[in-house]
Amino acid sequence: MAKTYELDMTSGPLLKKMVLFTVPILLSGVLQLLFNAADIIVVGKFAGDNAMAAVGSTSSLVALLTNLFIGISAGANVAVANFYGAHDDEAISETVHTSIVISIIGGTVLLGIGLIFARPILEMMDSPETVLPLSTLYLRIFFLGMPAMLLFNFCASILRACGDSKHPLYYLALAGVLNVLMNLFFVIVLHMSVAGVALATILSQHISTFLILRQMVKSNSAIKIQFRKLRISKSKLIRILRVGVPAGIQSSLFALSNVIIQSAVNSFGDTIMAANAASANIEGFVYISMNAVHQAAMNFSGQNYGAGHYQRLHKVLLESLAFVTVIGVVLGVSAYRFGNFLLYIYTDNPIVVEYGLGRLKIVSQLYFLCGWMDVIVGVMRGMGYGIMPMIVSIFGSCALRVVWVYTVFQVHRTLTVLYMSWPVTWIITFTIHLLCYGGIWMLHHKEYREREQFEPSA
């Protein structure tokens, strides 16, 4: 990796560097989300609402099955960021090669799970018979790309830990364009429906993975991949898993709670499923934009924690919260205000559009609360705390969300009540996280003051 792409997050003006680092991640996330959006739009326009519902309703299940390993990639990110801040090149190299091995193993495991258990899990989610065969076909093809997807996510996390958020963007941009072109060809020309969009997605994913691997193999820095060094370092594995496993479990349980909500949505029929899929996909662009700030908060806190610049952690948190609020409010409200136009991109059915607007009105406009929750978790993970945020999130969001579905929703079985489960649990979880962050700081305040390296330019 060219040295000019690396970013020292431990000195100088914080907000400017955070914006420069966050924007490429934001654009990368949007491009990744476009993979799924292109699938839904193309099948919705050229293969019908059933096909759109089949593709859209699988997103929560995909998240459930993949989030554990994607969470572990966050552990790799934090470990590399800590070592980068401490200027420990040998530790960075060992962490990189351990991470690559983990991603290959994880991708292979997910490939097997997806092929074997796709249909049984969809049946447990009460997918309608009109949608089930198409959803199963889409998932089985989609999971053929799991090894490449996980490998890309781990490599991107490593690059970003060193401040390089641009290369992943470049590779995703190329893959995104190819994905859309292949979608159109497979569905319109070859009439492959959901199989075509799944195939386009995995082919484009393999292209972006090849490019990012090539970049790291040719690198001259500590993140260079050397195949003879591909082995698991026990100490680095433990460090990765200490943050990564709680992060992965937390993400998986979030996904599980969303699977339960998706099951409740499925009970309203395929028209509501299509509306929910389209509006959720639009909201995904808001979420992925805010998640870029979460990743920035995790990387900036990780590097500063590794360097011993503890006082900058407060600045990272406050400026990240301000940043994510602006993004969440502007994009979330805009998604609803322009929802009528946006939803017609996905479907020509006015009933689907009407129900889609109902979800955007509630969830999208309050999405900034989710951004608050994620940012404070990112800072705590960067400091090496993985278990505490996981426990709080399991209780504050996952458990309460499930309780909501089986209590409040059962009494008032409306989509409005169902959708309110998200903002209610976001604000509760953020409040508890904030108290935990304050507790961490008070517990270690004396230690931080003794170890902190004074930095006049900070």
pLDDT of 226-279, one tens digit each? Answer: 999 999 999 999 999 988 888 888 877 777 777 788 788 887 888 888 888 889
| pLDDT for 445 beyond 70 | no
Query: What DSSP element (H or E) covers 224?
Result: none
Whole-number Å distance between alpha carbons of 17 and 294: 15
Of 11, 6, 79, 82, give the one whose Cα is nearest residue 312: 11
Using alpha carbons only, give the angle 268, 131, 275 rounded to the nearest 5 degrees: 45
Environment class of 455 (CB within 10 Å of its CB; exposed 0-12, middle 13-18, buried 19+): middle
pLDDT at 435: 93
In sequence order, the 6+-apart residues with CB closer than 8 A to the CB of 107 are 69, 146, 147, 148, 149, 150, 151
pLDDT at 346: 80
Q: For CA atoms 358, 289, 334, 346, give the dihedral sign.
A: negative
Whole-number Å distance between alpha carbons of 128 and 289: 32
pLDDT of 358-392, one tens digit each? Answer: 999 999 999 999 999 999 999 999 888 888 888 99
pLDDT, average across residues 183-202 = 87
pLDDT at 212: 95
Residue in the block written with tokens 């934090």: 78
In sequence order, the 6+-apart residues with CB closer than 8 A to the CB of 426 are 366, 369, 370, 372, 373, 397
pLDDT at 35: 67
| pLDDT for 134 beyond 80 | yes
Whole-number Å distance between alpha carbons of 231 and 148: 19
Whole-number Å distance between alpha carbons of 304 and 345: 43
pLDDT at 458: 37
Amino acid at 122: L
pLDDT at 217: 94
Q: Which segments of 47-88 does DSSP mark as H helices, in order?
A: 49-56, 59-85
Cα distance from N-terminal residue to C-terminal residue, the chain:
27
Structure tokens at 297: 């908060």
Of 343, 350, 374, give the one whose Cα is nearest residue 37: 343
Whole-number Å distance between alpha carbons of 267 and 334: 29
pTM, full prediction: 0.77
In whole angstroms, how far apart are CA 103 and each of 71, 107, 194, 210, 217? 11, 6, 27, 14, 16
Residue in the block written with tokens 């990189």: 96
pLDDT of 315-333, one tens digit each? Answer: 999 999 999 999 999 999 9
Q: Which of 116-125, 253-262, 411-420 has the lowest mean pLDDT?
A: 253-262
DSSP 364-389: GGGTHHHHHHHHHHHHHHHTT--HHH
Distance of alpha carbon 303 from the chain centroid: 21
pLDDT at 450: 60
Whole-number Å distance between alpha carbons of 83 and 351: 53
Residues of the chain with pLDDT > 90, as a percent, come to 35
Whole-number Å distance between alpha carbons of 208 and 194: 22
Whole-number Å distance between alpha carbons of 264 and 134: 20
pLDDT at 449: 62
Whole-number Å distance between alpha carbons of 164 and 277: 33
Residues of the chain with pLDDT > 70, as a percent, come to 94
Question: Do 239 and 95 contact (CB within 8 A), yes or no?
Answer: yes
pLDDT of 60-112, one tens digit each? Answer: 677 777 877 888 888 898 899 889 888 899 999 999 999 999 999 999 999 99
**What confidence tier does 448 reach under pLDDT thresholds 50, 70, 90?**
low
pLDDT, average across residues 134-162 = 91
| pLDDT for 37 beyond 80 | no
Structure tokens at 266: 């499925």
Residue in the block written with tokens 């680092």: 21
Q: How many CB atoms lie within 10 A of CB 218?
A: 11
pLDDT at 9: 81
DSSP character for 190?
S
The mean pLDDT of the chain is: 86
